[in-house]
A and B are shown apart, each in its own frame.
Chain A
Protein backbone atom coordinates (compact mmCIF):
# COMPACT_ATOMS: atom_id res chain seq x y z
CA UNK A 1 0.00 0.00 0.00
CA UNK A 2 3.03 2.22 0.40
CA UNK A 3 2.89 3.32 -3.22
CA UNK A 4 -0.76 4.29 -2.83
CA UNK A 5 -0.35 6.94 -0.14
CA UNK A 6 -1.15 9.83 -2.47
CA UNK A 7 -4.30 8.10 -3.73
CA UNK A 8 -5.39 7.23 -0.19
CA UNK A 9 -4.93 10.82 0.92
CA UNK A 10 -6.70 12.05 -2.19
CA UNK A 11 -9.72 10.10 -0.97
CA UNK A 12 -9.60 11.78 2.43
CA UNK A 13 -8.01 8.88 4.30
CA UNK A 14 -4.62 8.09 5.81
CA UNK A 15 -2.35 5.06 5.76
CA UNK A 16 -1.22 3.81 9.18
CA UNK A 17 1.25 0.94 9.39
CA UNK A 18 1.75 -1.19 12.49
CA UNK A 19 4.74 -3.47 12.98
CA UNK A 20 5.67 -5.76 15.81
CA UNK A 21 9.26 -4.69 16.34
CA UNK A 22 10.77 -2.03 18.56
CA UNK A 23 10.35 1.75 18.20
CA UNK A 24 13.99 2.19 17.15
CA UNK A 25 13.49 -0.32 14.32
CA UNK A 26 10.47 1.66 13.15
CA UNK A 27 12.51 4.87 13.35
CA UNK A 28 15.31 3.33 11.25
CA UNK A 29 12.83 2.04 8.69
CA UNK A 30 11.06 5.38 8.47
CA UNK A 31 14.38 7.18 7.94
CA UNK A 32 15.71 4.69 5.38
CA UNK A 33 12.52 4.67 3.38
CA UNK A 34 11.72 8.35 3.87
CA UNK A 35 8.16 7.56 4.98
CA UNK A 36 5.74 10.31 5.91
CA UNK A 37 2.75 8.28 7.10
CA UNK A 38 2.26 7.11 10.70
CA UNK A 39 4.34 4.10 11.64
CA UNK A 40 3.65 2.37 14.95
CA UNK A 41 4.89 -0.68 16.79
CA UNK A 42 2.96 -3.18 18.88
CA UNK A 43 5.63 -5.04 20.88
CA UNK A 44 3.01 -6.80 23.01
CA UNK A 45 1.10 -7.86 19.87
CA UNK A 46 -2.13 -6.87 21.58
CA UNK A 47 -3.47 -4.98 18.57
CA UNK A 48 -2.62 -7.94 16.31
CA UNK A 49 -4.72 -10.11 18.59
CA UNK A 50 -7.55 -7.56 18.75
CA UNK A 51 -7.52 -7.47 14.95
CA UNK A 52 -7.93 -11.25 14.83
CA UNK A 53 -4.82 -11.74 12.73
CA UNK A 54 -3.36 -15.15 12.09
CA UNK A 55 -0.09 -16.76 12.92
CA UNK A 56 1.78 -19.04 10.53
CA UNK A 57 4.91 -19.62 8.54
CA UNK A 58 6.09 -16.34 7.10
CA UNK A 59 9.73 -16.66 6.18
CA UNK A 60 10.08 -18.92 3.17
CA UNK A 61 12.65 -17.04 1.15
CA UNK A 62 14.69 -20.13 0.36
CA UNK A 63 14.28 -23.87 0.49
CA UNK A 64 16.55 -23.95 3.52
CA UNK A 65 14.58 -21.42 5.48
CA UNK A 66 11.36 -23.08 4.35
CA UNK A 67 12.58 -26.45 5.58
CA UNK A 68 13.66 -24.89 8.84
CA UNK A 69 10.38 -23.03 9.18
CA UNK A 70 8.31 -26.14 8.51
CA UNK A 71 10.29 -28.10 11.09
CA UNK A 72 9.96 -25.33 13.65
CA UNK A 73 6.32 -24.82 12.82
CA UNK A 74 5.63 -28.49 13.39
CA UNK A 75 7.48 -28.38 16.67
CA UNK A 76 5.64 -25.22 17.62
CA UNK A 77 2.37 -26.77 16.59
CA UNK A 78 2.93 -29.79 18.81
CA UNK A 79 3.87 -27.52 21.66
CA UNK A 80 1.17 -24.99 20.96
CA UNK A 81 -0.51 -25.54 24.27
CA UNK A 82 2.71 -24.45 25.94
CA UNK A 83 4.36 -21.88 23.67
CA UNK A 84 1.87 -20.96 20.99
CA UNK A 85 2.80 -20.42 17.40
CA UNK A 86 5.65 -17.92 17.10
CA UNK A 87 4.83 -16.54 13.63
CA UNK A 88 2.54 -13.58 13.38
CA UNK A 89 0.94 -12.68 10.06
CA UNK A 90 -0.37 -9.33 8.97
CA UNK A 91 -3.58 -7.91 7.65
CA UNK A 92 -5.30 -4.79 6.37
CA UNK A 93 -8.41 -2.94 7.50
CA UNK A 94 -10.26 0.19 6.48
CA UNK A 95 -11.85 1.83 9.53
CA UNK A 96 -14.05 4.93 9.63
CA UNK A 97 -14.49 7.59 12.35
CA UNK A 98 -17.76 5.80 13.23
CA UNK A 99 -15.70 2.71 14.11
CA UNK A 100 -17.04 0.85 11.11
CA UNK A 101 -14.81 -1.70 9.42
CA UNK A 102 -15.39 -1.21 5.70
CA UNK A 103 -12.73 -3.68 4.59
CA UNK A 104 -10.82 -6.44 6.31
CA UNK A 105 -8.22 -8.79 4.91
CA UNK A 106 -6.50 -11.29 7.18
CA UNK A 107 -3.34 -12.53 5.50
CA UNK A 108 -3.41 -16.30 5.08
CA UNK A 109 0.36 -16.55 4.63
CA UNK A 110 3.39 -14.33 4.12
CA UNK A 111 2.71 -13.79 0.44
CA UNK A 112 -0.99 -13.09 0.84
CA UNK A 113 -1.89 -9.40 0.54
CA UNK A 114 -5.08 -7.65 -0.50
CA UNK A 115 -5.37 -6.03 -3.89
CA UNK A 116 -4.78 -2.27 -3.35
CA UNK A 117 -7.52 -1.60 -5.92
CA UNK A 118 -10.11 -3.22 -3.63
CA UNK A 119 -9.06 -0.93 -0.79
CA UNK A 120 -9.14 2.17 -2.96
CA UNK A 121 -12.60 1.17 -4.24
CA UNK A 122 -13.86 0.96 -0.65
CA UNK A 123 -12.44 4.42 0.09
CA UNK A 124 -14.03 5.80 -3.07
CA UNK A 125 -17.38 4.40 -1.98
CA UNK A 126 -16.92 5.87 1.48
CA UNK A 127 -15.96 9.28 0.08
CA UNK A 128 -19.06 9.28 -2.15
CA UNK A 129 -21.43 8.44 0.69
CA UNK A 130 -20.06 11.04 3.13
Chain B
Protein backbone atom coordinates (compact mmCIF):
# COMPACT_ATOMS: atom_id res chain seq x y z
CA UNK B 1 0.00 0.00 0.00
CA UNK B 2 1.46 3.35 -0.95
CA UNK B 3 1.59 6.38 1.29
CA UNK B 4 -1.51 8.07 -0.12
CA UNK B 5 -3.54 4.86 0.03
CA UNK B 6 -2.50 4.33 3.62
CA UNK B 7 -3.46 7.90 4.49
CA UNK B 8 -6.75 7.71 2.62
CA UNK B 9 -8.14 5.08 4.99
CA UNK B 10 -7.30 7.05 8.12
CA UNK B 11 -10.28 8.22 10.14
CA UNK B 12 -9.82 11.61 11.76
CA UNK B 13 -12.16 13.96 13.60
CA UNK B 14 -13.58 17.24 12.37
CA UNK B 15 -13.99 20.21 14.76
CA UNK B 16 -17.45 18.92 15.68
CA UNK B 17 -15.96 15.58 16.71
CA UNK B 18 -17.38 13.63 13.76
CA UNK B 19 -15.30 10.87 12.20
CA UNK B 20 -14.19 11.61 8.67
CA UNK B 21 -12.24 9.46 6.24
CA UNK B 22 -9.18 11.41 5.19
CA UNK B 23 -9.21 10.14 1.61
CA UNK B 24 -12.61 11.74 1.02
CA UNK B 25 -10.79 15.04 0.72
CA UNK B 26 -8.91 14.00 -2.42
CA UNK B 27 -11.63 11.87 -3.98
CA UNK B 28 -12.33 14.46 -6.68
CA UNK B 29 -9.48 16.98 -6.59
CA UNK B 30 -5.88 17.19 -5.40
CA UNK B 31 -5.25 18.34 -1.86
CA UNK B 32 -2.44 20.09 -0.10
CA UNK B 33 -2.41 18.10 3.11
CA UNK B 34 -0.61 19.90 5.92
CA UNK B 35 0.15 18.24 9.25
CA UNK B 36 0.84 20.83 11.92
CA UNK B 37 2.47 20.55 15.33
CA UNK B 38 -0.25 22.58 16.97
CA UNK B 39 -2.95 25.01 16.02
CA UNK B 40 -2.04 28.68 16.06
Could you tell me if A12 and B30 are in contact, using CB atoms closer than 8 angstroms? yes
User: By the criterion of a CB under 8 Å from any partner CB, how many residues of chain A are at the interface?
Assistant: 53
Contacts known (A96-B26, A97-B29, A123-B30); A27 close to B35, Cβ less than 8 A = no
Helix, strand, loop or mixed for chain A's interface? mixed
Which residues 1-37 of A sit at the B interface, judged by CB distance below 8 A? 1, 8, 12-21, 23-30
A102 at the interface (CB under 8 A from B): yes
Which of A12, A40, A43, A99 has a CB less than 8 Å from the CB of B8?
A99
**Bound CA span A78–B21, Å:** 36
Kindly name the residue among B7, B17, B34 whose own CB sees the greatest number of chain A CB atoms within 10 A. B34
Write out the residue numbers on chain A whose beta carbons fall within 8 Å of the beta carbon of B36: 17-19, 90
Could you tell me if B2 and A58 are in contact, using CB atoms closer than 8 angstroms? no
Could you tell me if A42 and B29 are in contact, using CB atoms closer than 8 angstroms? no
Among residues of A, the one whose C-beta sits closest to the C-beta of B7 is A50
**Bound CA span A21–B15, Å:** 10
Kindly name the residue among B3, B13, B33 whose own CB sees the greatest number of chain A CB atoms within 10 A. B33
Could you tell me if B12 and A30 are in contact, using CB atoms closer than 8 angstroms? no
B residues apposed to A, CB below 8 Å: 2-8, 10, 12-17, 20, 22-23, 25-40
28 contacts between A and B (CB under 8 A): A13-B30, A14-B25, A14-B32, A15-B32, A16-B32, A17-B35, A18-B12, A19-B39, A23-B13, A23-B16, A25-B39, A29-B39, A30-B15, A41-B15, A42-B12, A43-B13, A47-B22, A48-B35, A50-B6, A50-B10, A51-B7, A89-B37, A90-B36, A92-B34, A95-B30, A95-B33, A97-B26, A99-B2
